Structure 1
Amino acid sequence: MAILKRRSMCNNPPVCREWLYKYPYKHALYIKVNDNIVLIVCLYVDDLIFTGNNPKTFEEFKRKMCCEFEMTDLGFISYYLGIEVKQTEEGIFIVQENYAKELLQKFNMSNCNPVNTPEECNIKLSRYDDGAKVDPTLFRSLVGSLRYLTCIRPDILFGVGLVSRCMEAPTTTHLKAAKKILHYIKGTLDFELHYYASNVFRLRGFSDSDWGGDIDDRKSTSGFVFYMGNTAFTWSSKKQPAVTLSACEVEYVAVSFCVTQVVWLRNLLNKLHFTQREHIEVNVNNKSVIVLAKNPLFHECSKHIDTKYHFVHECIANKVLKINFVKSQDQIRDILTKSLELNTFKALRSLLGASPQLNRKSFPPPKSTSISYTKLLALLKSLLPGSINEVKLSVSGKMKTSSDGNLEKGQKQLDLKVYNKAITTENL
């Protein structure tokens, strides 16, 4: 992934318009596909970010752009619009640490005490709070700055959305809630999203909603999160436009918002040659929603639901998506629709893929040449939480096993898979 900066501003010449295909469903996204070679270009004002699967295409693209414009090649992307990007052999890491530090300094919170969650558990804010009024300009500036931080910080999205509803006449209660988020950011400055290389391009999503969470108008907050691999890459938390009358109805409306994102992502991935040939799975924690989505005419109590929300049924009939049931404790989307207690919040945050930066230099490859299965199992039990009684080993390369069952030097790579966790040890 690299970046070019244009030094002169003018309209795109005919040669560039013919060479790149402009994606119709996303502004400023251009694609070139030639057999199995893909080039993706994103444009923002005078900056270009491009990536693909063939380095030769990169050089051709830069050469053609430099022929038409005055361009500066900035090399591999490392900083873009306040977002820091680190590209290593382990994957791509995205963080906003510098922006977060500037935000704390801007609002005189650099020396504040860190906290473990961005909002109080079960917090409720009212726009008509009778507390002392605060400077609305300062409050709006704070909320606006926090909203940009949600670009790669889904763990603060619900809290930021909550205080965003109180910008008309903010009080000390609202300002305290907003500053609580700054306290949380202070303790998680180095949190990042890690995107691994993978050959699995199966899209899956989670949809959820609270019920009547806004104490002023009793509207609900719904949202979704999508994965391709083990890290979330798109998420949303938004208050619903109408009051709902049951838990089933509010979840059904939330699923309809999620389905519109499914259709858009499906079209986008198809253009990028990551075709979703099977239905896309959307996970909900309400079985009544699944029944209603499959047959919306079956329930007389759903007659009042707006027709546009029954778009879900049509997508299921066309095999665009499939709605699955997931237990409430496994509903990742809860972190974006509710204020949670500490242990639940930390568990769901890790499932989103948000984690602190690691000093990877402090973890060199092991120097030992053999390890017994018994010692390996004991080591994993000490490192990983939960009950581990079995370790599945998948080996690539040559392996020699001694008479006592040790794994000796000679293999190229050993992958240790424990449930959904994976540890890779090279050159044992």
Structure 2
Amino acid sequence: MENESWITPLLRQLQADGRERTLNVLPRAGGRFSIDGREYLNFSCNDYLDLSRDPRVLSRAAETMSRYGAGAGASRLVTGTLACHAELEAALASFQSYPAAIVFGSGCLANVGVLSTVLGRSDVVFADRLVHATIIDGIVLSRAKLCRFAHNDIEQLDSLMTRAAAARRPGFRFLVVTESVFSMDGDRAPLRALCEVASRHEAMLLVDEAHALGVFGPYGAGLVREHGLGNRVNACTATLSKALGSYGGFVACSTELQALLINRSRPFLYSTGLPPASVGAALAALEIIRAAPHLGPTLLARAELFRRQLRELGLNVMHSESHILPLLIGDNATALRFSARLKAKGILATAIREPTVPRGTARIRLSVTLAHAEEDLLQAATAIAEAARLEGLL
């Protein structure tokens, strides 16, 4: 194609750096499946509660699509708000114990949408060093000043906010943003301490609950609910595509913030409403989770079994305290070879590399789901240890 000669050198450089990505086409989603008669355990899937193939979820998705159509047909502010959208937003607000909720086209759009709306160029946002890339994208679009504090370092955050306060003018906003469960490390944020610091400096607090929703908290409502901090956290973002097994994202917030997002959030204003099938699937998943409060604790118990077994075998799962277990490798080439060795043993576990994680911290990210039985996890731990020995990591 004309005027695209600059692309090839970039791709070659990605290859040379061990950072090239390609798409893997799989027969289905979920934590386990077969390819050409061979069964694989998928540890790179975020379908934590194994709901994406649940017959109740599939049935509700089909029913909702049959009633409302395959697509919403317009943006939400035109004619793209259907009754099912309103039902889902009410259900999410109730589930999160917030006055309101607003659904976006994805978790990415929810983060970008809320941050680019509540912040402006005169504001300052304080973000944990390891927050998700979509949070950084939203901050960049807002043009607010970004201050990053060391991962979960409350003292450094307090110091940064104290210094910034000296130059703060009336009307200039401060916002602190974190993930509750960090997507690549599997550890948790000190939410109560973050609330204290944010309150002391008169700052808003935004928490991304993408990996906590459905797993932690009462009836899977997340870590903000678990700690009883809903009245101190201005807004929570999350996705419908992980524990809920559907697609989309949302912001749980005050009615005032919801109204502002409806009026000012560009990712909301200029996107077609979420497809009805995805809405129906999410509604069914919420009902299942609320009726089965044991799902999250069961998943966390299996993750703890897996984590304990991996550590007993000498593997470094960093500071994981959730269903996400990172195996720290270091360099890209070794991580890619290790991932290939695992695939040969029937384990799909993607090598996570820069820029998703900092340079020199390439890893294998293992996501435990309810599709993984305890026996699967014990056998997988043994296979992972064998692959690690072959790579000289043990």
Q: TM-score, normalised by structure 2?
A: 0.29
Q: TM-score, normalised by structure 1?
A: 0.27
Question: Relative contact order, CA 8 A, sep 6+: which one is greater?
Answer: 2
Query: Which is strand-richer, 1 or 2?
Result: 1
Query: Which is helix-richer, 1 or 2?
Result: 2
